[in-house]
Amino acid sequence: MLFKLSIKNMKKSFKDYAIYFLTLVLGVAIFYMFNSLDSQEAMLQVSNSTRDIIKLMISMLGYVSVFVAVVLGLLIVYANNFLINRRKKEFGIYMTLGMGKRQISKIIILETIFVGIISLVVGLIIGIFASQFMSALVAKMFEADMSNFQFVFSKTACIKSCVYFAVMYIAVMFFNTMTVSRYKLINLLNATKKNEKVKIKNPIISVIVFIGASGLLGYAYWKVTGDVYSLNTADKLLPPILMGITGTILVFWSLSGFILKVVQSIKNIYLNGTNMFVLRQINSKINTTVISMSVICLMLFMTISILSSSLALRNTMQRDLLEMTPVDLNLYKTANLPENYMKYGKEVRPTKEQREDSRIPITETLKNNGLDINVLKDVVEIPIYATEEWTWGDSLGDKIQSPANNDTAEELIKISDYNKIAKLYGLEQYELKDDEYMIVCDFDNMVGIRNLALQYKNIMTINGKEYHAKYTECQEGYIKMSTSHTNTGIILLPDSANLKEEWKEQYLLVANYNARNDEEKEEIEKLFNVDPNGEPTIAEKLYEKGIEIDGMTKISLIESSVGLSTIIVFIAIYLGIIFLIASSAILALKQLTESSDNKQRYTILRKIGCDEKMINKALFRQIGIFFGLPLILAIIHSIFGIQFAMTVMEGLASSEDLLPSIVATVVIIGAIYGAYFIATYLGSKNIIKEEE
């Protein structure tokens, strides 16, 4: 009998379960999608290093999934609480007819199991198909070959999803049993006649608190934007965060009274149509959901900020990567090693062979150690000079604080040597007169500092000769490949400059692989980059002889950068969507509870002459305001939060990449938040139409 009753109850309460069902299905689908990457990774045609990065991402997503499971578990418990409270009168009738609390608990357990199984199956089906698109996304992000694409089912992800959600449902069933055991018959029968007690706040106090909260938030906004560089430690960053949280709570605490006071003063709006009713309903909701609205607002803020900032970071890193890796190979080694020097705080005594090798170019070193130099083409090698005659302190002077040690020597390069690399890189080439110098720099934080220094000190002296700055601003340029713009400044001198042989600090070799296709490039790459399954690289062979040649390859830079940015984006999307689902579901359940509790008020509206169109319009405005308030404040928070994130990531993320990221974030939020809004409106409309 209990089984049949549970089935009938499920069919009868299907409308009540809609939001609950939607939340479970989305949760299961997303959980499966992000945990099925282990199976998708196996079919991607990628290098060993990229495969290691993907495995690291999968491992990190596994830890994040534990946190996600906790969030979803709490959300399911919260949703179940709504469903239980919604049916108090029904349970009271069961008890009046002689049914015990144990039997009622069994009915609830059966219903929970049925809904859980259906949600799990539907969620897994959606997740399995959606994960195929995830495969394409992973392949695109890692620039992998998808020629062997096939439909993939992840047994591991399926088992993990089932186990995690089984644990959640056991907790939910235990919670439901405890809840029912505390119910009293009189309270159950009168449940529909009881509403939450609403304490009307003094409008004047609400206005004062609202103004104070706005001022507190304004100061927090200024700290994270106007005074951002002072927030360089966790203890200094904590106060603005606490001010933001406190300000948010106070805004929602005072908002109902503040809005009521403002709108009541505008009679033609307050007394128009059902505005008075809508305003009173909103006032009641906000009064009883201050903490909930504050938490939802902060979760939405985190969603917007995390998604926008991470997507902008990846877009910038991808663009910079293409720009900053114009050739296949950079190698460099220290020139003119002394008999002893300090390295990492320890004294180093190079051997005679090491010192002799440091005085010859890299190409000679490679030839002397068995490398066929014909595997390279477009080879350019230049010396980089440095001398204590011109340091960072000399360049910046006394008026500007140096970000480096003032005694650190500046890097000096002859103009013709720079132009050789610039031509190969596709950068602008320059000319200098015999008494001129210039600075190339592309690291944003340093460009402003160097430009300021050039404004008041533009003469430098090298080996007794004075040189005047050709430009009073840095010119954009670099000599070493990187994943982003990191050149803090190189001084270019005319070829006539008398740079001593002993001033040579480094040799830099720039080249392309002499290959016709990607397969041949991969083979040459093994000579210079680590291949765990292959022969030792040329650098490893030289290291065994005590000769150190460092460097980087285009392939390794792309793989490492793409891997880092992709890990950030995947975790950001995962957490962002979960926070969004949680926020939307809580708002939806709150509104459905209100609609259920306030059914009689809508009946009164009908009795005083309001037609269904007016009532539905009032309900739509009410839900729109309820959903809109935390989102609006979250957007305001995000404007300043994203500015702070972009400042912190300066040099890594560009503001010009922010707009596409914001558009993508709006689409994601619009799809999920909008779906919950529509489902809530339709559910509430059905609830208030029900007969008493």
Q: Would the pLDDT of 356 be above 60?
A: yes
pLDDT tens digits for 269-304? 666 666 667 776 766 666 667 777 888 888 888 888
Maximum CA extent, the chain: 107
Stretch 104-122: mean pLDDT: 75
Please give the average per-residue pLDDT across 413-420, as a whole number: 95
* Residue 650 per-residue DSSP state: B
363-to-510, 634, 668 alpha-carbon distances in Å: 10, 58, 52
Is residue 598 over pLDDT 50? Answer: yes
Higher-pLDDT residue of 51, 109: 109
Q: Looking up tokens 């002077």, which residue turns up?
A: 397
Distances in whole angstroms, Cα of residue 164 to Cα of each of 73, 312, 581: 9, 33, 18
Q: What is the pLDDT of residues 300-316, one digit of tens each?
A: 888 888 888 877 777 77
CA 581/CA 585 separation, integer angstroms: 6
Q: How far apart are CA 54 and CA 559, in angstroms?
A: 10
The band of 508, judged by pLDDT with boundaries at 50, 70 and 90, is very high
- Per mean pLDDT, which range of 321-330, 510-519, 655-664, 673-682 is the poorest? 655-664
- pLDDT for the residue 146: 53
User: Measured between alpha carbons, how far is 200 from 31 in angstroms, rounded to an integer?
Assistant: 42
As a whole number of angstroms, the distance between CA 581 and CA 21 comes to 12
Q: 500-514, 523-537, 612-626, 675-689: lowest mean pLDDT where? A: 523-537
In the block, tokens 């600090």 appear at 505
State the chain's mean pLDDT as an integer: 77
Q: How far is CA 617 from CA 269, 546, 623, in A?
A: 15, 80, 10
Distance CA 601, CA 493 (A): 83
d(CA 301, CA 639): 9
Average pLDDT over residues 151-166: 80
pLDDT value at 692 more than 50: no
Spatial CA neighbour of 286 closest among 577, 605, 278: 278
Q: Is 537 helix (H, G, I), strand (E, B) or coil?
A: coil
End-to-end CA gap in the chain: 27
pLDDT the model gives residue 182:
62
- What is the mean pLDDT of the segment spanning 262-266? 66
Hey, which of 237-241, 337-341, 404-408 has the most confident mean pLDDT?
A: 237-241
Pair 473, 454: CB distance under 8 Å: yes
Residue 130's pLDDT band, with cuts at 50, 70 and 90, is: confident
How high is the pLDDT of residue 595? 74
Exposure string for 671-685, b = 16+ CB within 10 A, e = fewer? ebbeebbebbbebbb
**pLDDT of the residue at 532:** 47
> 669 vs 50, 152, 596, 605, 661, CA distance in Å?
31, 28, 27, 34, 12
In a 10 Å sphere around its CB, with 0-12 CB exposed, 13-18 middle and 19+ buried, how is residue 372 labelled?
A: exposed
- Looking at residue 198, its pLDDT comes to 46
Examine the pLDDT at 576 and tell me if it is beyond 70.
Answer: yes
Backbone angles phi, psi at 610, to 5 degrees: -80, 130
Q: Which of 9-23, 38-52, 415-429, 558-572 has the lowest mean pLDDT?
A: 38-52
Query: What is the arithmetic mean of pLDDT over 609-632?
Result: 83
pLDDT greater at residue 582 or residue 151: 582
Q: How many CA atoms lie within 13 A of 193 on its CB side?
A: 5
Average pLDDT over residues 222-227: 79
Determine phi and psi for 229, rounding to 5 degrees: -70, -15
Q: Hey, is 152 helix, strand or coil?
A: coil
196 band by pLDDT with thresholds 50, 70 and 90: very low
In this prediction the pTM is: 0.68
Confidence band, pLDDT 50/70/90 cuts, at residue 39: low
Neighbours of 621 (CB within 10 A): 19
Give whichever of 181-195, 345-359, 390-404 has the largest mean pLDDT: 345-359
Encoded tokens for 652? 């890594």
Lowest mean pLDDT among 185-189, 203-207, 411-415, 591-595: 185-189
CA 595 to the chain's CA centroid = 36
Nearest to 660 by CA among 322, 302, 311, 301: 311
Distance CA 463, CA 503 (A): 11
Tokens of 511: 């080249």
As given in the structure block, the two tokens for residue 140 are 């695109």
The answer to whether 462 and 493 have CB atoms below 8 angstroms apart is: yes
Q: Are 57 and 570 in contact (CB under 8 A)?
A: yes
Q: Per-residue pLDDT for 77 more than 90? A: no
Least confident of 101-105, 384-388, 409-413, 550-554: 101-105
Cβ neighbours for 423, distance < 8 A, ≥ 6 positions apart? 429
Q: Indicate if the pLDDT at residue 195 is higher than 60.
A: no
pLDDT for residue 557 is more than 80: yes
Report DSSP state, residue 429.
Answer: P
Quote the pLDDT of residue 655: 61
Give yes or no for residue 43 having a pLDDT over 50: no
Question: What are the residues whose beta carbons fall under 8 Å from the beta carbon of 671, sequence distance 6 or more?
Answer: none
CB 580 within 8 A of CB 675: no
Percent of the chain with pLDDT over 90: 12
Rounded Cα–Cα distance for residues 679 and 681 (Å):
6
- pLDDT at residue 438 is higher than 90: yes
Reported as a pLDDT band with limits 50, 70 and 90, residue 494 is very high
Handedness of CA 148, 150, 155, 161 (dihedral sign): positive
On the 0-12 / 13-18 / 19+ scale of CB atoms within 10 A, 333 is buried
Q: List the structure tokens of 308.
A: 């926008």
d(CA 151, CA 43): 10
3-class DSSP state for residue 201? coil
Helices of type H across 226-289? 234-264, 267-270, 275-288
For the ranges 261-275, 521-535, 540-554, 668-682, the maximum mean pLDDT occurs at 668-682
> Cα(568)–Cα(653) distance, rounded to whole angstroms?
13
Contact 435, 468 (CB under 8 A): yes
- What does the DSSP 8-state code read for residue 156? H
- 432 pLDDT more than 90: yes
Instruction: Tell me the C-alpha to C-alpha distance, in Å, between residue 39 and each of 35, 55, 126, 644, 649.
Output: 9, 11, 17, 37, 33
Listed ranges 10-19, 105-114, 312-321, 676-685; the one with the highest mean pLDDT: 676-685
Residue 268 has pLDDT above 80, yes or no: no
Q: Are 437 and 471 in contact (CB under 8 A)?
A: no
Q: Averaged over 163-188, what is the pLDDT? A: 67
